[in-house]
A and B are shown apart, each in its own frame.
Chain A
């Protein structure tokens, strides 16, 4: 295992009485992209500002290449940031904006010009050197901001909501470009976002934050398939959550019963379930796309449960359903709208629902 490029240990920060970060720690490998994902106010921006040097943590250590960088002021850190607002200098041309960081290093003029031309070509902005920022489109501004940070050849690139100011179509295009650029340069990135799709698309690993803590750190697939708790389950993707009580283990499966209805027996794979004693309360999570819906007339699936459609909405490629499994127990299901096997259901239809055994996940809380 290569030594970590960046190592955070026990980082805490509070503003007045409000804790913004509590015991945050992780490693970042060279070339890795880590997304910090969370709702606004979860502390992700504070974390980014600590890495950039605009805030100092109350406790904890931050080491870059094995050296403590907390005493280093922002202007001496080999870390550069792309600001959410881009923070382009409005009085400088594109060229001078990108050259700003290099001029602070007092590099020779020719070298600055060469580096500026190089990064501008990299972000496909060659030809716009003399433009002022206000004469650029949103997407172009974003690329100037990226070029300005990249020109410094930072050890670590920080991206603060890089796509927040772009419209949806441009956002997807830019994600593809940014991803290609990162893989090509192999630069380590920390990306802060509240958009789970963006985090999944760009990052090798995702750290989900809630109330100043990292509640789960893992690959996008791990986070999606095995969320650590209810918060992660509902923040990353859609999920149906059913309150359940643990009965006991039977073979490889853990038997549970719905808390709202003693007759509704369900089971989850024991291998992925948290250690809950019999009688313990937990949550059963199901992703909507894992839930299969069949007409009530088809009774061949032994494990299928009777349910009733309460809402149906058409979303182009998918049909979204809400199903009442029993009084007070609701499931969500998303089925391909154009699949030939079954006609779409309407509210009131009696159906049978089932899911693959591994799709249900038990969450402790």
Chain B
């Protein structure tokens, strides 16, 4: 079959991508608008970028978000990697189904459910709500994503490589650190990046589990967005879009590395 693009396909592709990108591009363009009126083009300007830099409440929220995202992603990385390794390796043990189920539940539950449930837990435990409780909530959410990534990477990992290491005199732990970990670390890294992004992006769970004094960036943005469209939000949006694009670039590079290694590890078949 010819793999060329027919006119119909080209049209579908162009319309689909336009639908995905036009709204974002409009926001980016408007962020450089001199005019305060969002619908009137007043010339190119970086004026609002300067204004955002002055907004201390916003910068404080960014700082809270970054801290929460970094810590929760790191907790998720450790626990998710452990869970993923166990799920991929331990064939059968009591509670495997339960562990697999518990890992998946946060992935499929609506955020509003996760948020409410965790809030009620923190209330019941009488833990003071703030950045720490948001971090715990986000770690729980992201743990599953890391576990799934690590598990699927482990399933495609050729076990003969570990056996070859043992055969050549490496101890089991030596084999894990010298052979297995180098093979799966890109999956772990993209897991961390995904966890970091999810945490930065989350509004609903954070709103439930935060307390006074801990306002994340999405919470602060939400408060402003509800009041209507403003040039400042356009600027913040543009910055966040740029950041996301950068993160995705890094993640996709990491993934390419994994794929190159996987393919290299497979034998050449005739």
Residues of A with Cβ closer than 8 Å to B? Answer: 52-54, 73-76, 79-81, 83-91, 100-101, 104-105, 132-134, 137-138, 141, 148-149, 152, 165-167
Most-contacted residue by chain A among B182, B264, B266, B267 (CB, 10 A): B267
Judge whether B168 and A101 touch: CB under 8 Å.
yes
Partner of B182 from the list A85, A91, A101 (CB cut-off 8 Å) is: A91
CB pair A133 B168 closer than 8 Å: no
Closest to A167 in B: B270
Q: Is the interface of B mostly helix, strand, loop or mixed?
A: helix
Q: How far is the CA of A104 from the CA of B260 in the complex (A)?
A: 26
Contact A152 B168 (CB under 8 A): yes
The reply to whether A90 and B169 contact each other, CB–CB distance below 8 Å, is no
Mark each residue of chain B from 149 to 186: 1 if its CB lies under 8 Å from any CB of chain A, else 0.
00000000010110111111111101000110011000
Show the binding face of B for A, using Cβ within 8 Å.
158, 160-161, 163-172, 174, 178-179, 182-183, 260-270
Cross-chain contact A85 with B169 (CB below 8 angstroms): no
Check if B264 sits within 8 Å of A104, measured CB to CB. no
Kindly identify which residue among B174, B182, B261 contacts A104, using a CB–CB cutoff of 8 Å: B174
Residues on the A chain within 8 Å of B167, using CB: 52-53, 74-75, 79-81, 149
Complex A-B: 19 CB contacts under 8 Å: A73-B166, A83-B160, A85-B266, A87-B163, A89-B179, A90-B261, A90-B262, A91-B261, A101-B168, A101-B169, A104-B169, A104-B170, A105-B169, A133-B265, A138-B270, A148-B168, A149-B168, A165-B267, A165-B269
A residues within 8 A CB of B169?
A: 75-76, 101, 104-105, 152
Given A85-B160, A104-B174, A138-B268, also A91-B183 (CB < 8 A): yes
B266 to chain A, nearest CB (A): 7
Of chain B, the residue at the smallest CB distance from A165 is: B267
Q: Is the CB of B165 within 8 A of A100?
A: yes
B161, closest chain A residue (CB): A87
Q: Are B268 and A83 in contact (CB under 8 A)?
A: no
CA distance A87 to B261 in the complex (A): 12
- Residues from chain A with Cβ under 8 Å of B165 in the complex: 89, 100
Closest to B181 in A: A91
The chain B residue sitting closest to A78, CB to CB, is B169
Residues on the A chain within 8 Å of B182, using CB: 91
A134 and B161 within 8 A (CB): no
A89 touches B268 (CB 8 A): no
Query: By the criterion CB–CB under 8 Å, are A75 and B170 in contact?
Result: yes
A74 touches B268 (CB 8 A): no
Q: How far is the CA of A53 from the CA of B158 in the complex (A)?
A: 18
Nearest neighbor of B185 in chain A, beta-carbon distance: A91
> How long is the Cα–Cα vector from A12 to B167 in the complex, in angstroms?
22
Measured between beta carbons, the chain A residues less than 8 angstroms from B163 are 52, 54, 74, 81, 83, 87
Question: Which residues on the B side are within 8 Å of A87 (C-beta)?
Answer: 158, 160-161, 163-164, 265
| CB-CB under 8 A for A134 and B263, given A85-B160, A90-B183, A91-B183 | yes
Inter-chain CA distance A62–B103, complex, in Å, is 44
Contact A81/B164 with A75-B169, A87-B158, A134-B263 known, Cβ cut-off 8 Å? yes
